[in-house]
Chain A
């Protein structure tokens, strides 16, 4: 089984469909914040909701955040 055939299968998963639709609509893929699951149907719904609102999906949050109390929080995802 060649990768091209596998890709046809992967392209059918909910997240692949949502990513493709997002790319077709806005010209670039959605920006995820952190680790995602292959084919994640829950995330796919969020991307679809964003497309329906006419807003690109971009949940990017910087790894370093300044807190109100003057401290800093750094994240690894």
Chain B
């Protein structure tokens, strides 16, 4: 490695250096070598061995070091940035920081970078945990009077670590869809309940193209498509089980819950009607309030695409691409801009 010699004493700010131990080490190291062997530090070190007294001042008061912000081994700095930003949100019903750990554990580096830049501009207001088994997790926005932005809250049901991580990404996907909508156009100029997925003509077009491509308007082809997905996912697991392994098919389907959820959204609840669980159901996907509240089919599709796109597990996005090429192409196109580290998000909340 090439070495560069500099004249230390002529460097700007040199006279302001105050680090007695380091200065002594340099002095000792130089003694007996070329030059004077003495560095002019601008003061006599023997006279300033003790650090100058600290003056109590609110502005210079050190902040309490939070254990929660320490980076774990092999963790990227973006992860810690997301943790710090989510710490700003009010979190109730669980120890503070549980949500950030859940989401960080499942996010890829590009997902972390995107979310950090996004939250920096538009922070989430609150996170509420509950243990009511009958109440689902959700993304809520509460009006706060005219002219004031909605209060955003993620409602999370407590549960298994793996599923919580998945749900955390899903509900964050709704939050992003909502905020991106505000970036497209101010809530004062249009229906404030609309999300990005409602307002973006190209997203709606991709949804329709996917619907048409898969022939979901036809009962027979719709059934065949759903059958083929389940066969694709379950058949290899069953084959391995026949060879003596004991894999849980439900867990495999859990991994692909985003795919099944989009199938449910595209078909207005056809998957949930099969009665195995999964999806949101026909009532939720009813479009009778679409004009007033936005299209829940678009909202769920966006959230599931974000859940897979931002996942640490690369296969989840590959799986989405395989089944929904039109939707993933559109989402990738959008993320080419938003996931670019140089993109700065507009503050809209």
Contact = CB atoms under 8 A, between A and B. Distances in A.
A63 B145 CA distance: 19
Interface residues of A, number: 43
A52 interface: no
A35 B261 contact: yes
B129 interface: no
Contact of A31 (B227, B283, B300): B283
B254 A38 contact: yes
Contact of A38 (B133, B134, B257, B292): B257
A34 interface: yes
Interface in B200-250: 227, 230-231, 234-235, 238-239, 249-250
Interface in A30-77: 31-40, 42-43, 45-46, 59-61, 63-64, 67, 71-77
B236 to A, nearest CB: 9
Interface of B: 133-145, 155, 159, 163, 167, 170-171, 174, 178, 193, 227, 230-231, 234-235, 238-239, 249-250, 253-254, 257, 260-261, 272-281, 283-284, 289, 292-293, 296, 299-300, 303
A64 B138 CA distance: 12
A3 B230 contact: yes
Given A31-B283, A75-B138, A23 B275 contact: yes
B289 A63 contact: yes
Contact of A40 (B277, B289, B299): B277
A29 B219 CA distance: 21
A35 B261 CA distance: 8
A13 interface: yes
A34 B138 contact: yes
Contacts of A29: 273, 275
Contacts of A40: 277
A76 B303 contact: yes
A73 B155 CA distance: 12
Contact of A33 (B135, B159, B274): B135
A2 B279 contact: no
Contacts of A63: 284, 289, 293, 296
21 contacts: A1-B238, A5-B238, A6-B235, A9-B238, A10-B276, A20-B275, A23-B275, A33-B134, A34-B138, A36-B277, A38-B277, A45-B133, A63-B293, A71-B144, A73-B141, A73-B143, A74-B141, A74-B142, A75-B138, A75-B155, A76-B139
CB-based closest 4 A-B pairs: A34-B136, A39-B250, A3-B227, A38-B278
A5 B193 CA distance: 44
A46 B134 contact: yes
B138 A77 contact: yes
Residue from A32, A43, A60 whose CB has the most chain B CB atoms within 10 Å: A32
B284 A3 contact: no
Contact of B250 (A6, A13, A73): A13
A32 B282 CA distance: 10
Contacts of B138: 34, 75-77
Contacts of A32: 136, 272, 281
Contacts of A37: 163, 250, 254, 257, 277-278
Contact of A43 (B139, B140, B144, B277): B277
B275 A16 contact: yes
B267 to A, nearest CB: 15
Contact of B145 (A33, A38, A59, A71): A71
A76 B174 contact: yes
Contacts of B253: 38-39
A25 B174 CA distance: 36
Interface string A2-20: 1101110111010110011
Nearest to A1: B235
Given A34-B136, A43-B277, A76-B174, 8 more contacts: A13-B277, A33-B135, A34-B284, A36-B136, A36-B277, A36-B279, A39-B253, A74-B293
